[in-house]
Amino acid sequence: MTTDTRPTKSPLTDATPTSPAASSPITHERVSNTDAMDRALHAAEAKFTAGLSPVGLALAWRDWAVHLANQPARRMDLARRAMEDWAAIGRIALGVAEPRVPPCPNDHRFTHPRWDEMPYRLYREQFLRAERWWHEATTGIAGVDPAHERIVDFMARQALDAIAPSNSALLNPEVTDAARTSQGQSVRDGLKNFIQDSAVAMRRHKKLPLEPGRDVAVTPGRVVYRNRLIELIQYAPPTKTVRPEPVLIVPAWIMKYYILDLSPGNSLVRYLTGQGYTVFMMSWHNPNAADRDLSLDDYRSDGVMAALDAVSAITKAKKIHATGYCLGGTLLSIAAAAMARDNDNRLASLSLFAAQTDFTEAGELQLFITEAQLAFLEDLMWRQGYLDTTQMAGAFQMLRSNDLIWSRMIRRYFIGEQEHPNDLMSWNEDATRMPYRMHAEYLRHLFLHNDLAEGRLHAGGQPVAISDITVPIFVVGTERDHIAPWHSVYKMHMLNRGPITFVLTSGGHNAGIVSEPGHPHRYFSIRYRAPDERYLAPEDWQREAAPKDGSWWPEFVNFLDAHSGEAVAPPPIGREEAGYPALEAAPGHYIHEM
């Protein structure tokens, strides 16, 4: 086993002066006493603002308020709509039938039939009309910066959600019905759940419902390489022969790798090994304060490239199928582009699952991507050395507060329901930290400046371009992805003119990828784009690609088969003479880091 040492200066900061990213490099800066005091203040403020920049919020509200103040006709129209809503609410209170205001898509708070009865109908209509009015008041104001509009609309929605009648035990008919029919047992169960959750929240380390290595991440294999950033797992072949091209999977480092190796029945790793492929998986180290200066390029060099070197040495394969999920797919794209630039031809194919390479339509996370917000977040991470799991989880929960905060609170604390977590829910609780320097670079260079898509991102000291990649590409987007919307993932068609197989599958960012054969209600569409074919807009693509029932995993194997050689004897697990001995059994050590 070898452990490499790398220079800590990030090649990302070598951008030319014309690059927007060059104005704010993240380096080993020496901070003055005054800067340190300001940063410490901002880090303290973040504890009370859920990591949101108060300056960024103030700028957004001012932008909205000033533009709205200069549009008197729009204000008059809003006043008219408010009066119409109040008149309608008054008629509902008197028992007059009024058209029901539909809730927003995916809002299931008012599905209980008693919400159609008085007085609950009145509470619901008051809330939904207020929600509709505030959305109209905060969006579509001419002249407001789109980023500021998103922030104002988001904050208004958060405030309204907090006072929704569904969140009140006395105003929610589902809660009162449960208390009456259970003779108060639901109230006692809810209190018990609250006490249990409060006790768990005070613990430093939370026990997962399903334990990696025992309940999940149980596909047999061995750790065959470890450095400061990754463990590389090689899985044991269940077949007598394998394809000569191994599969290397690069998972996201925001969570643990085993989203792709959950239970035996829905493990992509187990499925691929069963189809005759030698599979390697990277397991990321969970960074701490000592890792604050790890850069995005360190993740490429000590992560993807180190793993590729190990796979090549162990299997002696000339070509490797590289697969990346979420952030891992973005990093793999950077690595593949750098390899193409440097005439490194070891890749047989490139597969990207819910991974973005163009960030102009980067989903709900764009809410937090402004200059003010990133400066504030950088000060928080600078103080700690990393972004904590609770801070990251809080941001995601706010984006979907109805589902992840309020609805859970109602069902668990008001109705007293017990949770029965499955493997995917348990994995979702197993978050990791993000080192200060890498995360700041990632957000600035990719989300804020879109440097990868626009050819400004540097890897190994030189710029990279997705257009340089020439290997066949397999891309998967998911219909209900809030993190990497499929329209954004689809933009690979604009960045690379090579052969692309694009799959659009049902489900969201996680469940759409964990889509094993036999899973009910799954469907997907698939279409191949030849190198000489003209660009097809995503809406046109969706019309032309007919949906198919079932899992997309077999199509992925078909893609790999089409670019693989005839089956051969499996390679050894590790290769000690090459410096890659077989170490402990999978899932290894890094997966257990808290």
Active site residues: 326
| Contact assessment for residue 451 and residue 19, using Cβ atoms and an 8 Å cutoff | yes
Type of residue at 48: F
> According to the 3-state scheme, what is the secondary structure of 570-587?
CCCCCEHHHCECCCCECC
| Contact assessment for residue 12 and residue 293, using Cβ atoms and an 8 Å cutoff | no
Whether the link from the prior residue into 517 is cis, omega within 30° of 0, is no
Residue 250's closest CA among 340, 338, 331? Answer: 331
Sign of CA dihedral 408, 413, 419, 421: positive
**Spatial separation of the C-alpha atoms in residues 564 and 543, rounded to whole Å:** 31
Q: How many CB atoms within 10 Å of residue 573?
A: 18
Specify the 3-state DSSP secondary structure of 429: coil
**Spatial separation of the C-alpha atoms in residues 103 and 160, rounded to whole Å:** 13
Instruction: Using DSSP bridges, classify how beta strands 320-325 and 247-250 pair: parallel, antiparallel or unpaired.
Output: parallel
DSSP character at residue 339: H
Whether the link from the prior residue into 499 is cis, omega within 30° of 0, is no
Angle of helix 72-93 versus helix 54-69 axis, rounded to 10? 100
Q: How many CB atoms within 10 Å of residue 414?
A: 24
Pull the structure tokens for residue 411: 């069902």
